Structure 1
Amino acid sequence: MVSIEEALNAVLKNSKKISSETKLPLENCTNAILSQDIFSPINMPPFRQSAMDGYAVNAHEHLSYSLVGEVKAGDSHQPKINSGEAIRIFTGAPVPSSANAVVIQEEVEVKNGNIFLEKFPREKQNIRPAGEQVREGELALKKGSKLTPAEIGYLASLGLENIPIYKKPAIAIVTTGNELISAGETLTYGKIYESNSKMLKSALISLGFDKISLHTVKDSYEDTYHKLKDLIAENDLVLITGGVSVGDYDFVGQALKGLETKEIFYKVNQKPGKPLFFGKNGRTLIFGLPGNPAAALTCFYMYVYPSVQKMAGYDPLLKKVIATSSSHFVKKGDRPQFLKAIYKEGKVTVLEGQSSAMLQTFTLANALVKMDGDREEIKINDSLEVFLLPV
């Protein structure tokens, strides 16, 4: 059995960023990581552009101008403006080369085909120069950039369609147990509805992963062996819930051994989630998560999250803060414990209902409090180590 710190270090050491590349349509690249530098194919903006609704002028020594035309956003004509002349112009419209300033409409009076300014304009005021954001051929985004909505919009404004990115990991989720049935089936005596696969898939989707497949196996060595053999060959990460312990019908460990999976660790000195398995088979990482839902989700956030984040090239660790306790809690046993909690503005409240089988408390939580093994009690105003769950 390893400590929490040893387990996390082993996970981070063995989780490598996937280096294989692909190209995807820009709209499908949210949260992906760029695998190549992107150079701008155009000037952005591609022409001198009005930053305001107002009047483009060819400035002279007077405050009055003759109004001689109009240019809207999207117009392609470029009227010539002589000294002392102006045109009506709108935000985003191309500014004629003969204009040297744009005066906002609030500072202009219009009368009998002429405009009158409140003050003399400054050279190039309210004109966005061509290439102000980026010039043609310049570096637009560096390799390794994460494509958030801002980056997606930026690349779209450059007219880019297919983007070179690192592949995200392919992930298989396997649930085991003859007692499990699917939603919609009749709940007979001795059966329970399976929830772990949907829970884990939802957690992965919320983090931006989309290559996720769900699988079930019955409590049989042969079924478990053949299913895991196929999934290990096809995926970068395999998450297995249940069947990891040493019961007569827990076949996951036996099957993984039969497949010559390298055990990196089995069992972590923590509660919940002691029977956690982590191993490697070829290029594929394997987590054997506890079957109890709250224990499985705790292990997901503390170990699977950093692994899959690192594989995708993201920051691997949950945000950690020190917070002041707003509640009292007495721990049973001497194992370190992760406690479901609510964190807000520097204060944290440990919730009731910490059973490894109870998800209801997790629905209220936005954080996990780490309570060391030698600590028996949390008192109000104690300082606590808190891991913030991703939202």
Structure 2
Amino acid sequence: MISISDAISIVKANGKPLLQKTIKKVEKAGGYLLFEDILSPINMPPFRQSAMDGYALNSHDDLSYQLIGEIKAGDGHQPILKKGEAVRIFTGAAVPDSANAVMMQEKVIQDGKNIITIEHQIQLEQNIRPLGEQVKTGDLALKKGTKLTPAAIGYLISLGITEVSVFKKPNIAIVTTGNELIEAGQDLSYGKIYESNSKMLLSTLYSLKFYDVTLYKVEDDYSKTVDILNTAINDNDLVLITGGISVGDYDFVGKALNELLVEELFYKVKQKPGKPLFYGKKNDTQIFALPGNPAAALSCFYVYVYIALQKLMNRDAIELPRIEAKSISKFKKKGDRPQFLKAIYNNGEVEILEGQNSSMLQTFALSNALVYAPETVTEINKEDTIEVIQLPV
């Protein structure tokens, strides 16, 4: 049995970035990292653009101007303004090359049908977004490794880009084991429970924008366990197994992994929940055998699997944020193992929740954080400063 810190170090040391390229439609590339630099194919804006509703002017010494027309956003005509002439213009519209300023409409008086008077002398180029103000043709738009956020997606589409080269995300398998498990929606006969771990982990992966996930279900049968795990390992970059890793008569996962020549990197971590955690690899595929208890499985996911996923994606920030917070609860820790406690963090304070049993998800459903209680801590009191792991929301 190894320590938490040693287990985390082993996961970090054995995770390798995929570094494979795939092409995605821009609108479906959210959360991916750019595989290569993107150079702008156009100037943005592609023309001198009005920053507001008002009047485009060819300035002169007088405050009065002859109004000769109108330009709306999207209009393609470009009137030629002589000195002392103006056109009505709207936000986003193309400013004629012969105009040298836009005066906002609030500072203009229309004296007649075709005459306007401005309140004061203008500054040249005021309220005009210059050609290529945001980015120029051929300039770097976004660099390799940039995470494609909603804003980045919008930016690329505004440049007319429809497809991007991104780092491929991993193929992930979720394998659930156990004769007692049935699908939600079926009649719950005596001795059976609804299988929730796979959907819980699937939802967690989806929330982190990992979508290439395959679900496998295997009964407590040794040969079937070997076959399913062999397929999952050969076809995926990361395999998550829930249940069957302990030493009961019908826990076949450990024996199956051994038969498949999976290299064991650690088995059992001094922690609560999640002591019976296995981590290994075969070739370039990483395998986590998570505890069967749902809260323990999810805790191990956030502490260890999250790191492996970020390493696969070649990201810099590979651990969930850890901060210090003031406890507003009392908690007495049993045993000598470090503990991850389900909690609610808010504005520098953290509440440790009731119901910390590893089989219970009700408390986890309310949590947005895990409190880390190290081996040396036997009791947490109100006002104590404690370490908090912030969970993704």
Task: Give the TM-score taking structure 1 as reference length.
Answer: 0.99
Kindly report which structure 2 residues correspond to 1:152-191, keeping only aligned pairs within 5 A, or say none.
152-191=153-192
Kindly report which structure 2 residues correspond to 1:13-24, keeping only aligned pairs within 5 A, or say none.
13-24=13-24
Q: CA deviation at 1:213?
A: 1.1
Aligned position for 2:77: 77
Q: Name the CA distance, whole Å, in 2 between partners of 1:2 and 1:47.
A: 63
Q: CA deviation at 1:375?
A: 1.4
Q: Name the CA distance, whole Å, in 2 between partners of 1:383 and 1:195.
A: 34
Aligned position for 2:321: 319
Q: CA deviation at 1:111?
A: 2.1
Q: CA deviation at 1:298?
A: 0.4
Aligned position for 1:58: 58
Q: Name the CA distance, whole Å, in 1 between partners of 2:74 and 2:17.
A: 44
Aligned position for 2:264: 263
Q: CA deviation at 1:156?
A: 0.6
Q: Name the CA distance, whole Å, in 2 between partners of 1:186 and 1:313.
A: 44
Q: Name the CA distance, whole Å, in 2 between partners of 1:347 and 1:190.
A: 42
Kindly report which structure 2 residues correspond to 1:30-45, keeping only aligned pairs within 5 A, or say none.
30-45=30-45
Aligned position for 2:28: 28
Aligned 8 A contact 2:295 2:361 in 1: yes
Q: Name the CA distance, whole Å, in 2 between partners of 1:201 and 1:309.
A: 16
Q: Name the CA distance, whole Å, in 2 between partners of 1:23 and 1:330.
A: 52
**1:27 aligns to what SS in structure 2?**
helix
**1:361 aligns to what SS in structure 2?**
helix
Q: CA deviation at 1:374?
A: 2.3
Kindly report which structure 2 residues correspond to 1:173-212, keeping only aligned pairs within 5 A, or say none.
173-212=174-213
Aligned 8 A contact 2:172 2:236 in 1: yes
Q: Which runs of 4+ in 1 moved over 4 A?
A: none
Kindly report which structure 2 residues correspond to 1:1-391, keeping only aligned pairs within 5 A, or say none.
1-112=1-112, 113-314=114-315, 315-391=317-393
Unpaired runs of at least 5, structure 2: none
Q: CA deviation at 1:15?
A: 1.2
CA RMSD of aligned residues (A): 0.7
**2:91 aligns to what SS in structure 1?**
coil
Q: CA deviation at 1:64?
A: 0.3
Q: CA deviation at 1:366?
A: 0.7
Q: CA deviation at 1:13?
A: 1.0
Deviations 1:213-245 (A, max 9, x none): 111000011111011111111100000000001
Which amino acid counterpart does residue 289 of structure 1 have in structure 2?
A: L
Q: CA deviation at 1:109?
A: 0.6
**1:73 aligns to what SS in structure 2?**
coil
Q: CA deviation at 1:313?
A: 2.7
Which amino acid counterpart does residue 106 of structure 1 have in structure 2?
A: E
Q: CA deviation at 1:17?
A: 1.5
Q: CA deviation at 1:193?
A: 0.3
**2:363 aligns to what SS in structure 1?**
coil
Aligned length: 391
**2:362 aligns to what SS in structure 1?**
coil
Unpaired runs of at least 5, structure 1: none
Deviations 1:169-216 (A, max 9, x none): 110101000000001111011100000000000001001111011110
% identical aligned pairs: 60
Q: Name the CA distance, whole Å, in 1 between partners of 2:108 and 2:96.
A: 19
Aligned 8 A contact 2:325 2:385 in 1: yes
Task: Give the TM-score taking structure 2 as reference length.
Answer: 0.99
Which amino acid counterpart does residue 168 of structure 2 have in structure 1?
A: K
